Amino acid sequence: MQYPEPIAQLIDSYMKLPGIGAKTAARLAFYTVSMDGDDVTNFAKALIAAKRDLHYCSICGNLTEEDPCLICKDKSRDQSTILVVEESKDIISMEKMKEYHGLYHVLHGVLSPIEGTGPEDINISSLLTRLQKNDEVKEVIVATNASTEGEATAMYLSRLIKPAGIKVTRLAHGLSVGADIDYADEMTLYKAVEGRTEI
């Protein structure tokens, strides 16, 4: 027996989300249909608003409603350090710690030859341009995840940036290997930033 077309389309839509298989998508679709009409409308509006109103900051690449983003506009932040992260959600994790007061740069991914992701596929060129234009930057902290791809990206960035005389450091491994920044607690992140090492 086949699902009615509206349910089938909803299941297909949910399956496009990362980590959602056919069974979970079906469960979510049926739950959505059973939701109150106002809740479904608000859910749909939130999806549309997020897609319509959010864009990437022209300076750091963070998701923002305004350009430049609030962090890049904040002149009270330490202009001498840039912390490089894989995704915008990693900035939220770092900001919760309340111990880092510098700037950020979002790569939107990592180098992964297996998946065909090269330097031109992630936000590296704008970081290099930013460093060339701003002689205030003295340190770049690479905060990619402690995965094979994250390590490879960190080493690649180090080779590109160090010749310019800018110190390149890596978060200390208070983060366990294979862990994502957005799952770490504030103390783990604090220790990782505090114990960063030069590469």
Q: What is the pTM of this model?
A: 0.81
In terms of CATH, what superfamily is 5-53?
RecR Domain 1 (1.10.8.420)
Closest by CA to 182, choosing from 63, 56, 87, is: 87
Q: What is the pLDDT of residue 177?
A: 67
Q: Evaluate whether 146 touches 177 at the Cβ level (below 8 Å).
A: yes
* Confidence tier at 31 by pLDDT (50, 70, 90): very high
119-140 pLDDT tens trace: 999 999 999 999 999 889 999 9
Domain boundaries, the chain: 5-53, 63-198
Q: What is the pLDDT of residue 174?
A: 64
More confident residue, 151 or 25: 25
Please, which residues have CB within 8 angstroms of residue 111's CB and are 6 or more apart in sequence?
A: 117, 118, 119, 122, 149, 152, 153, 156
Here the contacts of 60-64 (C-beta below 8 Å, separation 24 or greater) are: 60/103, 60/104, 60/105, 60/106, 61/88, 61/105, 61/106, 61/107, 61/108, 61/123, 61/126, 62/88, 62/91, 62/104, 62/106, 63/88
Going by CATH, does the domain composed of 63-198 fall within 3.40.1360.10?
yes
Q: What is the pLDDT of residue 40?
A: 96
Tell me how many degrees the CA angle 192-193-194 measures, rounded to the nearest 5.
95
64-118 pLDDT tens trace: 999 999 999 999 999 999 999 999 999 999 999 999 999 999 999 999 989 999 9
Chain mean pLDDT for the chain: 92
Tell me how many degrees the CA angle 117-123-124 measures, rounded to the nearest 5.
90
Q: Does 63-198 match 5-53 at the fold level?
A: no
